Amino acid sequence: MHITIADRKSEIADGTTVAQLLEIEKVEMPLYVTVSVNDEFIATDARETTVLKDGDHVEFLYFMGGGCR
């Protein structure tokens, strides 16, 4: 099936979960990455059970700390 990951078309196997996609995409420190599927945030504890569907749009959001002095 085909999905879009950050505006890049990708082909993955049917039944792929969000957790598996994080491994496939070699996402570093996945616990610190927020995942959205079709503009809906996926809870960390739901990654194992959230199955992607053909046509889904996935984004990996990396939040960074910082500030000014």
pLDDT of residue 64: 72
Residue 15 within a domain: yes
CATH number of the domain residue 36 falls in = 3.10.20.30
Q: Assess whether pLDDT exceeds 90 at residue 19.
A: yes
Residue 6 within a domain: yes
In tens, the pLDDT along 29-65 reads 898 999 999 999 999 999 999 999 999 999 999 877 7
Residue 12 within a domain: yes
What is the domain range of residue 35?
2-62
User: How is 4-66 classified by DSSP, letter by letter?
Assistant: EETTEEEE--TT-BHHHHHHHTT-SSGGGEEEEETTEEE-GGGTTT-B--TT-EEEEEE----
Q: Give 28 or 43, the one with higher predicted confidence.
A: 43
Q: Give 22 or 65, the one with higher predicted confidence.
A: 22
Residue 44 within a domain: yes
